[in-house]
Structure 1
Amino acid sequence: MSITAQNITKTFGKQKALNSVSFDIKKGEIVGFLGPNGAGKSTMMRILTTYYKADVGEAAVNGYDVLKEERSVQKSIGYLPEHNPLYLEMYVKEYLAFNADVYKVAKNRIAEVIEQTGLTPEAHKKIGQLSKGYRQRVGLAAALLHDPDVLILDEPTTGLDPNQLIEIRKLIREIGKKKTILLSTHIMKEVEAVCDRVIIINKGEIVADKRLEELREAEEQIIEVEFDYRVEEVLLNQLPNVKSVKNTGGFIYEITFNTAKDMRPAVFDFAHDNKLKTLQLSRKNKNLESLFTELTGE
């Protein structure tokens, strides 16, 4: 196992942030750690990265005990915290060189991670001049410098615009082909976009642990589509396998289908046949949304 946690409990004053949390993550998995704000996600990640010590329980990363083998754990993980601690006055290459010295890795790794994370166009700039999306890339590059087997990413897409979201998600999926990734988020679309499995935590306790494949097998789906013009709902109801149609505002519609087959091509063809432009088209996993709402009350 790349990550194991057994009966982890952590209390801050009178507040129990984690209550007997247990899970295992296999090598090569991308796992979404999903939960409302304050559910205990960041606390668990800080225990796995040795920033916090659990009051009760045991945890290991790559076989190294987080309490007894801190240095080995730190060497085997790349960590991107929620609030990415960057030195804004440093140049990108300068900052990565500083981190390379800390990890005692060869300087040629700097050019490799700059290319890997798509930083080449901005590598000559100061970090303070970069957009939030590129700053996140710098944080990822620093986390990858020592070529760790495990990446722990805490809310890596917070504050990004839609284009930056797509870029960072694509980057995480690419990195996940070779590494184990634990990704903390409170955004369900994030999990659906990049993860193989989801662990849902609420009020410090694990309330669900499922593979995304299981959730996608549900015989019901929601397609969210935005057209460039208002459409009569009666027309959308004529699409095959439609259960319901809902206008959620403006020219945006949620269409629920009674089938596991991906209905996005049918919606796209509908737009084309009716001379409409499709401004956005996405498939929601209703089962995940329903599960999250049921288990967290959100």
Structure 2
Amino acid sequence: MATPALAQRRLFALRETIARIENADHPGLARRKRHWQWDEQGAQPVSESGETDGLDAVFDGNLPACGLVEIRNAQTRDMGAATGFSLALAALRQDRGEKGEGATLWIGQAMAFSEAGTPYAPGLRRHGLDPTRVLLARPRTIADALWMAETALGVPAFSTVILEIRGNPAGFGLTESRRLQLRARENGILLLLLRQAGEEEASSALCRLRIDPAPAGERPLPDGTTLEGSIANPVFLVTPEKSKTADPVGILLEWNSHDRRFHRLEPRPAVSSEERRPADPLSVVSLPGRRSRGAAALGSVVAFKGAS
């Protein structure tokens, strides 16, 4: 007998298969793009839009074809969001490459990988990348990492180079970033500087984005409703910290790995804790057995005789 979790997973897969079959008979339905509203409970669909790409709100027109783009996060625990956003950008560039081209080189120091984890091929595929065109390098020092990045920027087979560093190392500053920026623009390659748990500092990057995690919504169904209890596409809170065009206000972007597109989500006012409280709340943890149920409620009269 299948476990409840396995049965629920099979039910989700069956519903998705039915939705694909229905969308195949209705091409217009398959091309619809949904916008979502976001609050502390997740994302909810509010309207449908056309072909507008969410990256228009971050970059001037669209993703730069070449040059240095810095992506950072403030805490190591949020590295998954920064990594997911960087890999989504790499998937956009990989998708535009011809057969045999569009490879992605991911250069990461051993310390960075030990803190945030190493790439997983099935996960890369589900995120929209071809894992057979993703190469991984693990240099020991920041000097070796910079040498690898500068050398890789001269290889035409790479469409994207990801340089992951931890913090703000002394061996990487304004001079090094300028040299990488010029070499990336000269060879037409996008260089993503993925700074793990780093602070803002001067650099020659075209722009600097701070990426924070945001709650995902529920999976949309063809009839416009959502599948209760499911988890939809990942959502990122993108805050431009250095940009010539973008407003320095956080933007919610949802990544659709199947369409390889970002969709901008419109935020709505946060819901108060009273509104989020269920009508019939239950205890998260059951009460312990053979123990008291806690101290009695305080009264309004002080027991002077029992006081010491």
> Same fold by TM (over 0.5)?
no
Structure with greater proportional helix content? 1
Structure with greater proportional strand content? 1
- Name the larger-Rg structure: 2
| TM-score, length basis structure 1 | 0.36
| TM-score, length basis structure 2 | 0.35
